[in-house]
């Protein structure tokens, strides 16, 4: 599904990713954990196609196709999705208008017909119910006046509607209370499928109790320094990141 090879990235002369390698198979849920500043969010932005970063070396292959030459919208149409750590508020853009515009833009890019309004509303309502999203929220401008938890649920709603192949969840658990964490996790678990993979970025093992990963990778100083099964997350929770910080410093 996704293969990252020797990825080297900098922003304003600061090297953030230092030859990162990572493979996520079809249907796999991979978790990335790591201390602050290890480059986790940068990785998510670079996968999604944010232009501020300079890619010096390496490849990101989605089903064998290098996405680094593609613009963010082309990557989205190809099936990449980033659930933002801090979803943005867009005053004046109605949530429904936005959702429909995104769905249709992706369909158009893939050469598919536009969605009919009844089909669109049906799809939104079903996804919103599952995520316990109030219909009033859908009438407001995108994310404007939403709580942290509401914004994260809106991200998962978009993921559910856009049906991407590969989803990156950037600290989706940050700012969530226990109930919101459960709702969001259930929303994600509902989307798990053989043809869909996830990269779950988090600081805490807590999220991984709800979204149980197949693999766990530890990131430090811009590289994957250890990989293992879900038990690796528990080890980290017990021992902390100190070991990785010293290893890197050494």
Binding site for other proteins (CB under 8 A): 48-52, 71-73, 75-77, 81-82, 84, 87-88, 90-93, 97-98, 101-103, 105-106, 109, 141, 158, 162
User: Which residue lies nearer to other proteins by CB, 17 or 103?
Assistant: 103
Nearest to 22 by CA among 179, 189, 215, 180: 215
Closest separation in Å from C-beta 154 to other proteins: 11
Task: Tell me whether residue 163 or residue 227 sits nearer to other proteins (CB atom).
Answer: 163
Label each residue of 124-191 as H, E or C. HHHHHHHCCCCHHHHHCEECCCCCHHHHHHHHHHHHHHHCCCEEEEECCCCCCCHHHHHHHHHHHHHH
For residues 3 and 60, give the distance between their C-alpha atoms in angstroms, rounded to a whole number.
6
In the bound state with other proteins, the residue whose beta carbon lies nearer, of 20 and 103, is 103
| Phi, psi angles (nearest 5°) of residue 210 | -95, -45
| Nearer CB in complex with other proteins: 109/126 | 109
Query: What span, in angstroms and rounded, lies between the C-alpha atoms of 183 and 178?
Result: 9
Residues 6+ apart with CB under 8 A from 69: none
Q: Are 123 and 172 in contact (CB under 8 A)?
A: no
CB of residue 98 to other proteins, shortest distance in Å: 8
Closest distance between other proteins and the C-beta of residue 238, in Å?
Answer: 35
User: SS3 string of 86-98?
Assistant: CCCCEEEEEHHHH
Q: Minimal distance in Å, beta carbon 221 to other proteins?
A: 25
Q: In this structure, are residues 62 and 80 in contact, taking their beta carbons and an 8 Å threshold?
A: yes
Q: Smaller CB distance to other proteins: residue 4 or 157? A: 157
Measured between alpha carbons, how far is 93 from 217 in angstroms, rounded to an integer?
38
Q: Which is nearer to other proteins, 98 or 120 (CB)?
A: 98
In the complex, the smallest distance separating the C-beta of residue 232 from other proteins, rounded to whole angstroms, is 29
Write down the least CB distance from residue 80 to other proteins, Å: 8
């Amino acid at each position: 599904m996704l293969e990252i090879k020797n990825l080297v990235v900098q922003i304003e002369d600061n090297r953030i990713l230092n030859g990162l390698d990572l493979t996520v198979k079809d249907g796999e849920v991979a978790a990335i954990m790591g201390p602050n500043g290890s480059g986790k969010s940068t990785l998510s932005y670079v996968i999604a196609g944010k232009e501020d970063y300079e890619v010096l070396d390496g490849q990101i292959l989605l089903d064998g196709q290098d996405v680094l030459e593609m613009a963010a919208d082309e990557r989205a149409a190809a099936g990449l999705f980033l659930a933002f750590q801090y979803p943005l508020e867009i005053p004046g853009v109605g949530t429904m208008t936005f959702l429909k515009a995104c769905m249709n833009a992706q369909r158009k890019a893939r050469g598919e017909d536009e969605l009919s309004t009844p089909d669109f509303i049906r799809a939104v309502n079903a996804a919103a119910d599952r995520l316990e999203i109030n219909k009033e929220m859908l009438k407001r401008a995108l994310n404007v006046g939403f709580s942290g938890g509401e914004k994260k649920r809106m991200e998962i709603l978009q993921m559910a509607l856009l049906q991407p192949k590969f989803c990156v969840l950037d600290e989706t658990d940050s700012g969530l209370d226990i109930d919101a964490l459960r709702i969001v996790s259930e929303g994600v678990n509902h989307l798990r499928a053989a043809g869909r993979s996830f990269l779950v970025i988090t600081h805490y093992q807590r999220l991984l109790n709800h979204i149980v990963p197949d693999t766990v990778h530890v990131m430090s100083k811009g590289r994957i320094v250890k990989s293992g099964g879900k038990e690796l997350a528990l080890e980290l929770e017990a021992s902390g990141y100190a070991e990785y910080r010293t290893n890197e410093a050494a």
